[in-house]
Structure 1
Amino acid sequence: MILLFWICAGLIAFSLAGYGLLWCFLAAVFGRRAPLPPEQPLHATVLIAARNEEAAIRAKLKTVLEQDCGPHEVDVLVVSDGSEDATLEQALSLDSPRVRAFQTPEHGGKAQALTAGLARIEADVVIFSDANSMLAPGSLRRLLAPFALPDTGGVCGRLQPQHRKGRGGWLARAERLFWAYDSALKAAESRLGGAVSAQGTLYGMRRALVPERVPGDVADDFFISVQAPALHRRLVFEPGAVAQEAVTSHTGDEFMRRVRSTERGWRGLMRMRRLMNPGKYGLYALQLLLHKGLRRIVAFLLPVLLVLSLSAAAAQGGVYTAALLVQLLVYGGAGGALLWPPLARLPGSGLGRFFVLGHAAMAFGILRAMAGVHSVRWAPARSVADE
């Protein structure tokens, strides 16, 4: 029992903090520092799958059209996924020769919309970006620069969560902290075995590496971006390619978003599990296993650790009692703050709730995937960042 306690605690600690710290250290000492050659002119198409995004699509397209893309030729293709509002009309209202847009006959889900769009793209690079993610100036040129290296198969941008000053609550603050850590880890992985996968707000892929059909029951950004390492090309993280997106401040919306994301992500990971073979994919395989695989198993290790702590504390006390009290404090504080909002003002309560809800959603999402649930179509939660 004691041995199991330390194995479980060690795996959790390594996944949550040890892996990131170790990889940042290894990247600083051994990381790849290849300078970029001069920019090679590319034709790139920004592919945007949109569903009922009339409030955001025009502003999004302006952030694309106003980019300084240097020697690169960049156009846009918007696929309105059976929208029931004026998404298509708003996309076409800019009257730009660089913008194409069409609507699918029915709401088939994001993957179906992406598949329909890919059939109309013959550019060198496809840039994927969400309709509600606004691009910071210079992002597209920074995203395209690493493609000058022949072994670059894809480039990941950086998500910058946004919310109105003084608003957004504990969830937005925890979300910003999480994405700051995620960016640091992506940068370290990029310098070692290559970035593990992209996040859907902004990433680019060589058109030749993108599959013609995107499965509807997996995380599309994961599935598409890992095609680069699957074909032994490098996936690069470029922190200067920034997509700004408002995060929801509603706990219920965010919980279900994470459930769906984990369900689809887990199914995608299982479908591409061959990439976790170090004999064939080297250091990237180890990164994928530790970053994506172990990280999700932590959601199930946490309740196991709680049970082991109860048993160990009753038998030996000491450090095991302290470990049990810490866990009870985190879980009790998170649950109490959700049931009685005044407790949310306590220092650290926001991070505690983010931690507990995040892992609960992760466990629920994996169980849904194992039970055969397939989330293909849904109405995304939107939290608008006030200017």
Structure 2
Amino acid sequence: MVFLGYPLVLYICSLVKKKHFHIAGNQIPWSVSVIVVFRNAESLIEKKIQNFLTFDYPKEKMELILVSDGSSDHSLDVMQPYLSPFIRLFHSSDHKGKAYGLNLGVEKSKGDILVFCDADSILEQGTVKILLKYFSDPAIGGVCGQRMITEEVSHIKSGQKKYIAWDSLIKSLEVKCGLSITSHDGKLYAIRKQLFQPVPDGVTDDAYISLSVIGQNFRFVFDPEAKAVIKTPSRNERHELKRRARIVSRSLNGLKMNKKLLNPLEFGFFAMGLFINKVLRRVVPISLGLIFLASWILSRDNYFLGTISFWLQVTGYSISLLYPVFCMQWFSKNAPGQYITKISSVGFFFCLGMIGTLFGIILFLSGAKITKWDPEKG
């Protein structure tokens, strides 16, 4: 139900219930504040500013708010030549965390619409206009775009791209069904400034902001044509485990603060989708562990189905965890090896995600709050 059932239900619903937008032909000339919180982004920030300067939108209607979260490299020096009334910098000498930076950036912003993106996300031409067109519909409070991985730096890139494609499919189906999306992408999203609620420490900021918009009875939608080009989110296996644990722990904290959204009497089918995507998906590693243990016990007692199930799981996990071996040239240079490698890449990334999710659940249940960290963008 978690991975296949929910998308299938959404697909069936999308055939009979189409999305309802009331987008005006002539767009309102919104004033826009693009907010970027960064830490030690010396290698990224100049390219980010140059990307902002190429946006196809009236310059007098835009501003770029840069918030440095205790940067100790040369980021501030790099951006000095670009500062102007439309490109403003706010710097905290202490490392206070992204939530503080976002709240400060919004406080200093002047735009009607807030566009949030990361220092490493480069927006394609026309993206801002695509985001803004949705705000002509008074029922829509926010919209997020599509992340696009183009960099070849990690052998787990394939699994990450497939996960993003699957998650984007779910978001697209939710929008087609007239629902708000239940998962959000912090690399690129926009909201009405009037709906912004300060981000507390210890939550996933994009999910919290998005849920708070929905909690105010506005829709939050998704458009895959609004694209942000990024580097591979996880640089290696260690990075993926840390990243996944942090995201799961912080997103559960944010969901706890917005638990009213899980009430189907008030939020209907969205509440059920949110429960499936943000709660049931989190307990999958526990369920898989229990299934593996039960199969092992049954196989020891010579139950046929238990034995079959146990060895199928052993085979599947073995193929998945041997992915680093399958990546070696001597194995993947022939057609059968390439096929096995592709299957193994998905399984390997899935296993990493499950282990990281388990760590995140443990962090959440322990009451630990991850409020700040040093991004790995290199």
- The partner residue of 2:172 within 187, 194, 201 is 187
Q: Name the stretch that deviates more: 23-32 or 149-158.
A: 23-32
- Distance, in Å, in 2 between the alignment partners of 1:84 and 1:67 is 29
Q: Which residue of 1 aligns with 2:320?
A: 334
- How far apart, CA to CA, are the structure 2 residues paired with 1:203 and 1:194? 14
CA–CA distance in structure 2, aligned partners of residues 297 and 266 of structure 1:
12
Q: Does 1:291 align with 2:286?
A: no
Q: How does 1:160-199 map to 2 (within 5 A)?
A: 160-164=148-152, 168-169=154-155, 171-192=156-177, 193-199=179-185
Q: Which residue of 2 aligns with 1:218?
A: 203
| 1:324-374 C-alpha deviation (Å, 9 max, x unpaired) | 222112222334446897598543221111111100100111101111221
Q: Does 1:206 pair with 2:206?
A: no
Q: Equivalent residue for 1:350?
A: 345
2:67 to 67, 74, 79: 79
Shift of 1:315: 5.3
1:11 is aligned to none
CA deviations on 1:305-333 (whole Å, 9 max, x unpaired) are 11222234455744443332221122223
Task: Tell me the residue number matched to 1:69.
Answer: 57
Which amino acid letter does the alignment assign opposite residue 284 of structure 1? F
Residue 369 (structure 1) aligns with? 364
Q: Residues of 2 paired with 1:197 and 1:331: CA distance?
A: 27
Report the Cα distance in structure 2 between the residues aligned to 1:234 and 1:155, rounded to whole angstroms: 8
TM-score (norm 2): 0.91
Does 2:213 match 1:228? yes
Give distance in 2, aligned partners of 1:28 and 1:54: 48
CA RMSD for the aligned pairs? 2.2
Q: 2:263 aligns with which of 277, 288, 296?
A: 277
C-alpha distance in 2 between matches for 1:25 and 1:87 = 49
Q: Does 2:3 align with 1:16?
A: yes
Q: 1:112 offset after TM fit, Å?
A: 0.9
Matched residues, number: 366
Report the equivalent of 1:106: 94
Could you tell me which residue of structure 2 aligns to residue 5 of structure 1?
Answer: none
- 2:250 pairs, out of 260, 264, 275, with 264
* Structure 1 unaligned spans of 5+: 1-13
Offset at 1:34?
Answer: 3.2
Residue 298 of structure 1, CA deviation: 0.9
Write the distance in 2 (CA, Å) between the matches of 1:326 and 1:238. Answer: 39
Q: Aligned with 1:257: secondary structure?
A: helix
Q: 1:224 to 1:26 in 2, by over 3 A?
A: same
Letter in 2 for 1:244: V
* Higher mean C-alpha displacement, 252-261 vs 341-350: 341-350
Identity, in percent, stands at 29
Amino acid at match of 1:224: I
Matched, 1:241 2:237: no
Does the aligned pair in 2 maintain the 1:337–1:344 contact within 8 Å?
no
**1: CA distance, partners of 2:72 / 2:252:** 31
User: What corresponds to 2:335 in structure 1?
Assistant: none
Deviation at 1:249, TM superposition (A): 3.5
Is 1:150 paired with 2:138? yes
Specify the code of the residue in structure 2 equivalent to 1:15: V
Structure 1 residue 102: deviation in Å? 1.6
The one-letter amino acid of 1:376's match is: T
Q: Which stretches of structure 1, 4 residues or longer, exceed 6 Å deviation after superposition?
A: none
The equivalent position to 2:310 in structure 1, one of 321, 324, 330, is 324
Of residues 74-83 and 116-125 in structure 1, the stretch that sits farther from structure 2 once superposed is 116-125
Larger deviation: 15-24 or 29-38?
29-38
In structure 2, which of residues 47, 51, 59 is the aligned counterpart of residue 59 of structure 1?
47
8 Å CA contact retained: 1:344, 1:350: no
Q: 1:50, 1:87 within 8 Å by CA — same for their partners in 2?
A: no
Judging changes above 3 Å, is the alpha-carbon distance between structure 1 residues 17 and 72 closer, same or farther for their aligned structure 2 residues?
farther
Cα drift, residue 226 of structure 1: 0.9
Partners of 1:206 and 1:245 in 2: how far apart?
A: 24
Instruction: Work out the CA distance in 2 between the residues paired with 1:180 and 1:124.
Output: 31
Decide whether the 8 Å contact of 2:143 with 2:221 is kept in 1.
yes
Q: Is the 8 A contact 2:174 2:180 kept in 1?
A: yes
Deviates more, 1:126-135 or 1:325-334: 325-334
Mapping 1:20-39, distance limit 5 Å: 20-34=7-21, 36-38=23-25, 39=27
